[in-house]
Amino acid sequence: MPYDLDTVRPARYRDLLRINATSFNHLQEEVIVDTVVSTRKTAGSQLWVVGCALLFVVSLATDSNAQSWVARHGMTSAQYQSEFNTWTSQGFRLADVSGYDEAGTVRFAAIWVKQSGPAWVARHNMTSAQYQSQFNTWVGQGYRLVLVEGYESGGEARYAALWELKSGPSWVARHGMTSAQYQAEFNTWVGRGFRLKRVQGYAVAGTDYYAAIWEQTTGPSWVAHHGMTSGTYQGTFNAYVAQGYRLTHVSGYTVGGTDYYAAIWEKSAGPASVARHRMTSEQYQQAFSDLVNAGYRLKLVDGYTLDGSARYAAIWEAAR
């Protein structure tokens, strides 16, 4: 697979530079522990379970500040497109999408939020070349990449992406990177004052690859790690949470039968949050129901496959 360099988008407004980051390569330690902490009950949220099927689970919620949102997982490509059309026609915006292969079928998990915002464009099931072409088209029209997701389909890489028409600091996007290439790009851009905003790990034909977005902006201290086993991720999570860091992004992926994780933490204040990983579809749905009923809203969901079945990593935050 080629190493694809997208583009560096110049900023209309440049922020001051600040470097405060680290990244770790593959850390080998195998301990099977599920995740997490930092919970708080908040009243005022309700959950409606609209319908359920073995692989297509529907979960609709509205949080206490009246901002409607909807989450779906286990969707086929056709189901995802149908849900996309349904919710966007009702004024919802795509906030998060994750693609993953389960027993030879590509599935999607996604979150839509009903809120105003800039013009946006989303695409999925793109080959590397199609993604690059779409990237060039939309960036050329002033759009910024805010999400890129890699996943395997038929032994090849596919991409889902989201662009928004808005100004902001300089940014850089890369996809199709090996672990070593990702580390080299990380070092290069962090050395120039960029912060990692999103990193997605995915496996194609037994090799791990990465897609990432950096922005040249200031902010709180942050750390990013990739290639972590479940046990290493759990230990890293615990260590940083104890130091006042918050998990802002997590991506799960499986290589050679072992699940790995890439994640970003920031040392910042915010609402109570809960993170889980290695959840089966049933465990994810149960956690979703319990946490939404306790006043939390889903911020991120990432699907991947382990032992032939879908697994999920997710982050919830207490509704403000």
In tens digits, what is the pLDDT along the chain, a chain of 320 residues? 433 344 333 332 222 222 223 333 222 222 222 222 222 222 222 222 222 222 333 445 544 455 799 999 999 999 999 999 999 999 999 999 999 999 999 999 999 999 999 999 999 999 999 999 999 999 999 999 999 999 999 999 999 999 999 999 999 999 999 999 999 999 999 999 999 999 999 999 999 999 999 999 999 999 999 999 999 999 999 999 999 999 999 999 999 999 999 999 999 999 999 999 999 999 999 999 999 999 999 999 999 999 999 999 999 999 87
pLDDT at 54: 28
pLDDT at 3: 37
Q: Are 47 and 68 in contact (CB under 8 A)?
A: no
Q: Which two tokens stand for residue 140?
A: 């050329």
* Beta carbons within 10 angstroms of residue 76's beta carbon: 15
pLDDT at 154: 95
**Residues 130-135: contacts with CB under 8 Å, at least 24 apart:** 130/159, 131/159, 131/161, 131/175, 132/4, 132/6, 134/161, 135/6, 135/7, 135/161, 135/173
Residues 6+ apart with CB under 8 A from 191: 19
Tokens 């206490």 found at? 64
- What is the reported pTM? 0.82
pLDDT at 175: 98
pLDDT at 83: 98
Domain ranges in the chain are: 4-318
